[in-house]
Structure 1
Amino acid sequence: MKKICLFSFLFALMVLLAACGSSGSDEGNASGEEGDGKVYKVGIDTTYPPFEFQEGDEYKGIDVDLIRAIAEDQGFEIQLEAMDFSGIIPAMQAGELDIAIAGMSITDERKEKVDFSDPYFEAGLSLVVADGNSEITSLEDLKGKTVAVKKGTTGATFAQENKDKYGYEIVQVNDSTSMFQEVGNGTADALIEDYPVISYAIAESDLKLQVVGDRLNGDNYGIAVLKGENDELLKKINDGLASLKESGKYDEILNTYLGEQ
């Protein structure tokens, strides 16, 4: 009788331990990516401060801090992949990236290839000339001039769409630094860049450039995933972004790089 009771006790104990182990495993899966250990590859462009830049071996910036905070909030892992901005969407289409966060404006053209998160930053384009240049104050002053733009950006698209209307020529470069140099050394007369990016660059570096006139447009940045392929991941990104805004972490990240807004 005692042996039967002992056996029953041990059997019940084993069942209890197994149940506890199963519960712990489910909880771990809920905080990770469905328990498959997948690491999402995130495309960034490190020539785009204050949103993305590199100091030594470390990636920094609004976009970098934001996607890391979203991943932590939603319980998934990421791996940052730095590349030229113009190559980010093609890399997503080739299956080399899962997410893109690179100061990417939400446009109808890009929506044909990617799905965007809720907007996370209101930007807008600005016209920029060499410091001390008083001849160019608006698009109307660009007739016969040369405008530098960065390939694949909304600035490049805007410049192309308005080229005939205002009568200027376009020179395209691969990164922001080269674009700034085109105007700084007099090779180009003006450039078109996102307002927060050029304002930060002028404030932080001795670029000898100045923003002129009003914003050329208004647009919003979004986080992208490949169109029609990652609805669940996009939901996590949106949920994480909403959580960061509610907790105040979003404002904390922006204030780190842009000061009090």
Structure 2
Amino acid sequence: MQFKKFVVCACAAACGLAATSSFARDILRVGTEPTFAPFEFLDTDTKEFSGFDMDLIRAVGTKAGYDVKILNMGFDALIPAVMTGTIDVIAAGVSITPERANRVDFTTPYYVSGVSMLIHKADAGKYKTFADLKGKKIAVQIGNTGAGKAKAVPGALVSAFNTTSEAFMDLLSKNADAVFLDRPVLAYYLKNQEKAAKVLTIPPYIDDAENYGFAVKKGNKALLEKLNKAYADLKASGEVDKIYKKWFQE
């Protein structure tokens, strides 16, 4: 009688383990290089990976049925890591280029980057493209792509600063008519500076537009389809827009 009871208990335990295993979620190993705010960075307070990419890949991965694990590695190591199976996905503000597309497969693009401009709201109807700033004062950050764009504007008076904050201050104080910088940097600035957001705006114009996408191993069609479907569902539900608004303002 005792033996029978033991057998029943053992069977029950085994069945319970099998049930638990059947419902276990696979781990989605996501590689990132967390020094590219506001897309990915290490939050000094929570010690967690934070940013637009991190929120989005967690949402997409969860929707696709995975538990998401973020791994920190150098940017140059990301594509080799996904190619060799060390990680499953790259989420690191990666621009979709023909060269990279030969080595990995990209998901549906989730962000359009490129150089844009920040101007006063009162000038929104006046400055719609870079060419409209002909002969005007433009603030830039030294070494940024926007500096080259500003120098190409005929007659523009270009002021170059070491930091983006100095360029923004030049615009706020009306010493400049525009700031040329990467669009996500401009949008992140407005999101975090309430005073600036009241008087400044970003026109729709983007130069040298680049699409960002998540990357998976070449030929991993099953994972790619899962991620794309999850993203499409989140986009349709409005969740993607919520994440966007958390990090950017335009």
Deviation at 1:179, TM superposition (A): 5.1
Contact 1:99/1:223 (<8 A) preserved:
no
Partner Cα distance (1:149, 1:231) in 2: 42
Aligned to 1:171: none
TM-score by length of 1: 0.57
Matches within 5 A, 1:23-172: 23-28=19-24, 31-33=25-27, 39-48=29-38, 51-53=39-41, 55-58=43-46, 59-73=49-63, 74-81=65-72, 88=75, 90-95=76-81, 98-123=88-113, 125-128=115-118, 138-140=129-131, 148=141, 156=145
One-letter code of the match for 1:56? Answer: T
The equivalent residue for 1:134 is none
Go from structure 1 to structure 2 and tell me whether the alpha carbon gap of 1:107 and 1:150 turns closer, same or farther (over 3 Å shift): farther
For the residue of structure 1 that corresponds to 2:33, the secondary structure is strand
Structure 2 CA distance, aligned partners of 1:242 and 1:52?
22
Name the count of aligned residue pairs.
229
Partners of 1:100 and 1:44 in 2: how far apart? 12
Unaligned runs of at least 5 residues, structure 2: 121-126, 157-161, 172-177
CA deviations over 1:196-255 (Å, ceiling 9, x no partner): 430331452488x96676513485644322551654443342233234234443333233
Query: Structure 1 residues 185, 80: closer, same or farther in 2, change over 3 A?
Result: farther
Instruction: Specify the code of the residue in structure 2 equivalent to 1:79.
Output: I
Q: 2:246 aligns to what SS in structure 1?
A: helix
Maintained 8 Å contact 1:105/1:221: yes
Equivalence for 2:243: 253
- Which of 170, 181, 206 is the equivalent residue of 1:216? 206
Matched AA of 2:181: I
| Aligned-partner SS, 1:127 | strand
CA RMSD of aligned residues (A): 5.1
CA distance in 2, matches of 1:7, 1:97: 48
Identity %: 23
Q: Which residue does 1:191 correspond to in 2? A: 180
Residues 219/94 of structure 1: CA separation in 2 closer, same or farther (3 Å cut): same
Q: Secondary structure at the match of 1:215?
A: coil
